[in-house]
Structure 1
Amino acid sequence: MDEEYKDQTSPPRTRYKVYKYLTVALLFIVVFFSLGLIGVETTSSSSFCSSCHEMKPEFYTWKASTHSEVECVKCHIGSGTEEYAKAKANGLMQLYKKATQTYTAPIRMPKEIPDSACESCHDVSKREVTASGDIIIPHDKHKNKDIECIQCHNGIAHGKIADRKMTFQNDYEKWDSKTGTSAMGDFKFTRPDMDTCIDCHKARKVTTECSACHTTGMVPKSHKKADFKTKTHGKQAAENLKKCNQCHSDMSKEPLVGYDDLSVIESFLNNDQVQAKQKNHYNYAKENTFCADCHNKRPTSHDSNFYNNHGAIANKNQASCQACHEVKKSSASSRNQVTCSSCHPSKHSQKTSWKETHPISLEGVTKPSAKCYTCHAKVSCEKCHK
């Protein structure tokens, strides 16, 4: 037996202990990595995001969105090991902020969703027309101009709830599936609207013509009637100017203020006194450059005899004249340089008749005479007094 033991490096009991420790160590390593893999998989699931009550608004809006079948990590973590490692490290930092209550509310993404995340599912080169069948959106052209997906589709998964101030600390407990569905129910927060397109087109000096984006031209039936321009469009504007403004505001080359809510009264200074002026369709005709294209043209009714008859016509409906003309040139709202004050000075329109304050008696005088021209310039007077 002694000879047999001489050939061994250690006694059997010692070797047994070594094997035992190696087995335990190997088992520990296997369990550690298994738990690690399970942990990584668990923390990468969308349901894990909702385990933090700070993420309840984002979780329940995502559940109600069109992207509810796409895991959060597909969009919020970039591809590659490096991006994945950064995301996990950031997760530990967020865990620390949660424990110490040092996070910032409302919670916002540290960076925008990259196009690569969208393109892992969507082929933008083949997306030309939206589901409505009317709107033309050539995604490839936008891509070629370096317009990122998120610039138009930033509310697709969460309905812009941070911008809507719905993610503060006292709101977390209010969130559930019903709240998420309600928050995502209004398309103006989840889909790009026309204002998004128009603002971008104007900034980039791209056409804003209806036909550039709509296959139908978007012309209402009422606008196709033969007498629409000559007889009815002014009446329709008077009845529902806010509806007109929904489309025609985007056609103006200059911004329009005060027409989104016509109950708002515009205040302006005049002779150091604050006065109120209600915006109406006559103001709109002068301020919207789209309308001015027609309203600055001389109407057919303004023929050679119009000058002699315009006073009587104006007295019947003076307000209609203001669709093109100003009473006096007091603002830049009208491009038409012909104003009432061009021929009718304000001193002629005072409550006290100018004839009463005239230094020379004008009793019985009904028209200019040679006596008038001893003081006044005949050429100037005859521009109006003929």
Structure 2
Amino acid sequence: MRFWKKKEKIQTEETEKKPGLFRRMWRKFRGIDWKNPVNRWKLLFASLFAVVGFSGFLWGAIAFTSNPSFCSWCHEMAPEYVTFEVSAHSEIKCTQCHIEPGAVNMVTHKVHSLKEVYYHIVGVPDPIVQTIAVTNESCMTCHSENRLVSATGDLIVNHSEHIQEDIPCVTCHSGVAHAKVVERGINYQKDMDYWTMENADKLVNDTYMRPNMGTCIDCHDKVNKGDKPWEDIQYSLPENPHKDGHGKQDDEDGHAEAATTNLSAEDKAAVAKKKAQGIIFQALGKQVEDVKISMECSTCHLEVSTPKNHKAIDWNQNHGNAAINTLDECIDCHQDSKWIKHFEKQDIVSLIDAGASRTKYNPDLSIVKTDSRENNFCSSCHSYRPEGHVESDVWLTAHADKAETKQQKEECYVCHDQSKTLENTKLTAPTDVYCEQCHRTGFKSK
């Protein structure tokens, strides 16, 4: 006999397994006498308390997640947070721009934003790209559409006429809060550690935040060709590398780049250069076409500050010395980035290093020569033979006194190389005529 054997437990009503908490609460709720008005009042107050509590929790959650500092918690949002903090919009909340006004839009957006939590856990898109444009309704909650002249008193922009054409504000003001970090290619995950407030002044400046003149020119050029590019909202957004076909550039006929697909890289560059130079000629008033919107500077600018030395009669022929001595000042106006819509891709490390060790420009002929050949503003004129050269057979024997001194020779070198360009070397000079074709033994320099 096994006396240690446990006695079988006799199932009784007292030893039945007790029901769970929610089952007991449900039984208790069903047992309430709802005919009793006191119990109905208790239910009303309890429901009211629950609604108030839930609403308070929901409002608190929305307010907490709408605070810009909340965005800074995520490592991948560093570029957006740093650029926002140093922008003119730093005193408002992100949601005031990125969510259309209205409580329903706010709640809907928060629900949709749950996918950002998922991306944060499994891996965010690299780079992060804005795919939903800020609407005019969001902008109009703070700004007026009646502005005609910029705060500086120079730029003429009739905002109301642009809005009447349904042109999105972000078409011109795409960099106002985030300095076009996507377009510049400096918001990849490998660059996140560089995005600190200490580096903000090296990575962000007015060039990227204010409306880019190239954007105005590109849009006006398309309007003159009968297009309304803003009707496709992708025109106002940065190019999305995660979506095929987004951000394709247009050729000079205003059609998709399919027309130049079969061209070599050099031929495509030549087409782009010709287009840019044509626009520059229009802006200078040297190429007048039957257009809807004039491209001349005075169309948009009340004050075009032309330096005094530019007004000299012989300036076009004798500005070489000024270019050599003050190239950094010339480039403030005469740079390609002023005339194109998109900024070139940048290297974040180079930007930080350049910002930390910014050096003063020293006169350098080789730099000026390269710039005059590559810069579209300069090469738009330098690619044509000067009128003073007259006929080639006459100029050949008559130019000696125009190239006597070292300074005069330097002016020649802007267009002509002294020696023959080496094979497999890109020819950047406007002409393939070089000095040693005739002066094979060299020549004296004064």
Which interval holds the TM-score relative to the shorter structure?
0.5 to 0.7
Instruction: Provide the residue aligned with 1:114 in structure 2.
Output: 135
**Alignment partner, residue 170 of structure 2:** 150
How big is the shift at 1:118? 1.0
- Trace 1:1-386 onto structure 2 (pairs within 5 A): 15=33, 19=37, 22-45=40-63, 48-51=67-70, 53-54=73-74, 58=80, 61-80=83-102, 83-98=105-120, 100-104=121-125, 106-124=127-145, 126-161=146-181, 165=186, 168=189, 171=192, 182=201, 186-202=205-221, 204=223, 207-208=282-283, 209-226=296-313, 228-230=315-317, 232-249=318-335, 279=370, 281=372, 288-291=379-382, 296-298=386-388, 310=398, 312-313=400-401, 316=404, 319=409, 320-321=411-412, 334=430
The CA distance in 1 between the partners of 2:111 and 2:382, in whole Å, is 58
Separation of aligned partners in 2, 1:200 and 1:67: 25
Bigger Cα displacement from structure 2, 109-118 vs 208-217: 208-217
* Structure number with higher relative contact order (C-alpha < 8 Å, ≥ 6 residues apart): 2
Q: 1:32 to 1:180 in 2, by over 3 A?
A: farther
1:117 to partner: Cα distance: 1.3
Task: For 2:374 and 2:125, locate their aligned partners in 1 and report how far apart those are by CA, in whole Å.
Answer: 46
The one-letter code sitting in structure 2 at the alignment partner of 1:89 is V
CA drift at 1:237 = 1.9
**CA distance in 1: counterparts of 2:187 and 2:194, whole angstroms:** 12
2:15 maps to none
Structure-2 residue corresponding to 1:380 = none
- Superposed CA RMSD in Å reads 5.1
Aligned with 1:228: secondary structure?
Answer: coil
Give me the whole-angstrom Cα distance separating, in 2, the residues matched to 1:62 and 1:315. Answer: 55
Between the aligned partners of 2:35 and 2:194, the Cα distance in structure 1 is: 55
Residues 231-276 of structure 1, C-alpha deviations (whole Å, 9 max, x = no match): x41211233345434433459999xx9xx9x99989xxxxxxxxxx
8 A contact 1:286–1:324 mirrored in 2:
no
Distance 1:263 1:49 in 2: 46
C-alpha distance in 1, partners of 2:127/2:377?
A: 43
- Aligned partners of 2:337 and 2:88: how far apart in 1? 32
Contact 1:135 1:215 in 2 (8 A): yes
In structure 1, the gaps of 5 or more residues are 1-12, 267-276, 352-386
TM-aligned CA deviation for residue 115 of structure 1 = 1.5
Which digits, 9 at most, give the CA deviation of each residue in 1:168-189, with x for residues without a partner? 49948976xx559758962223
CA offset at residue 111 of structure 1? 0.7
Q: Please tell me whether the aligned partners of residues 87 and 177 of structure 2 are also in contact (alpha carbons under 8 angstroms).
A: yes
Q: CA distance change for structure 1 residues 186 and 25 in 2, over 3 Å: closer, same or farther?
A: same
C-alpha separation in 2, matches of 1:132 and 1:246: 17
Q: Which has the larger radius of gyration?
A: 1
Deviation at 1:156, TM superposition (A): 2.0
* More displaced 10-residue stretch of structure 1: 154-163 or 318-327: 318-327
Question: Match for 2:311: what amino acid?
Answer: K
- Kept in 1: contact 2:373–2:429 (CA 8 A): no
TM-score normalized by the length of structure 2:
0.52
Amino acid paired to 1:156: V
**Identity among equivalent pairs (%):** 25
Tell me the secondary structure at the aligned position of residue 130 of structure 1: coil
Alpha-carbon distance change, 333 to 79 in structure 1, aligned in 2, over 3 angstroms: same
C-alpha contact (below 8 Å) 2:373/2:430 kept by paired residues: no
